[in-house]
Amino acid sequence: MRIVKENILALCLLLSIPLLNIIYQVLNDGERGARQLITAVDHQIPFVEIFVVPYLLWYAFIFLMLVYFCIYDRAIYYRTLLSFCVGMLVCYVIYFFFQTTVPRPELMGNGILTSMVKYVYGADQPFNCFPSIHVLSSYLMILGIRHSKLWTIKKDMIVSTIAYSIILSTLFVKQHVVLDVVAGVLLGSLLFKLFYYLEAETVFSFFKRMFKTKLQSSEKS
């Protein structure tokens, strides 16, 4: 409870994610026309319903990683969250002007995994694909832990395994195509480098005034 109280204001910044997600819902249609970016590689990738498990794990993974960063490495928390939020906005601009779609397979049966995939398909229209926000955010968690003072080989392996399984899941459950994944990784890399290497005083002065938090360097010695 004490940890929550000490970090409550900074944790409130996480509300920016569901707020920005409202824009996602508004743009999630094909009224402006939608292109397909399917490549020959995508045709070789099978539909594997077991990957719906890591796909849905994304929600808890991103939330828990950001809470972890907030409590134990505030500088990386700000950088990662900023990269995520700005990345979402960049994606929304692309979705508005360059909407894409991914064809989905016909689902047969009523097993647990099939029902989970049906839930995903029902909750998310087959648009807003390029770049993939699932990929963008998952890759940011990898970059975050690797640039954090919390880094250890064990933590890197755990975070990377979960994140890469989520990234692969976007392909195997046919929510995205290869180009969506590539764009998500590139966008995440670009934004994280931008917010990581900019002078901390410039990027985080707003947060320092709000929370009166002294940012500590998170670079590994």
pLDDT score of 198: 73
Average pLDDT rounded to a whole number, residues 84-112: 96
pLDDT tens column, 34-75: 999 999 999 999 999 999 999 999 999 999 999 999 999 999
The model's pLDDT over 103-117, given as tens digits with 9 standing for 90+, comes to 999 998 889 999 999
The pLDDT-based confidence of 218 (bands split at 50, 70, 90) is: very low
Q: Phi-psi category of 146—alpha, beta or left, where left has phi over 0 and alpha has psi -120 to 50?
A: alpha
Mean pLDDT of 91-106: 97
- How many independent structural domains does the chain possess? 1
83's CB contacts (< 8 A; 6+ apart) are: 140, 188, 191, 192, 194, 195
- pLDDT tens readout for residues 143-176: 999 999 999 999 999 999 999 999 999 999 999 9
* Residue 217 maps to a domain: no
On whether residue 220 sits in a domain, the answer given is no
**Full-model pTM:** 0.89
**Residue 136 included in any domain:** yes
Specify if 219 maps to a domain. no
Average pLDDT, the chain: 91
* Domain membership flag for residue 169: yes
Q: Which residues pair with 66 in a beta bridge?
A: none
| pLDDT at site 138 | 99
Give pLDDT, residue 29: 93
- Is residue 215 over pLDDT 80? no
What SS3 state is found at 35? strand
Q: Tell me, yes or no, whether 20 lies in a domain.
A: yes
Task: Look at residue 87 and tell me whether its pLDDT is greater than 90.
Answer: yes
**Boundaries of domain holding 62:** 2-211
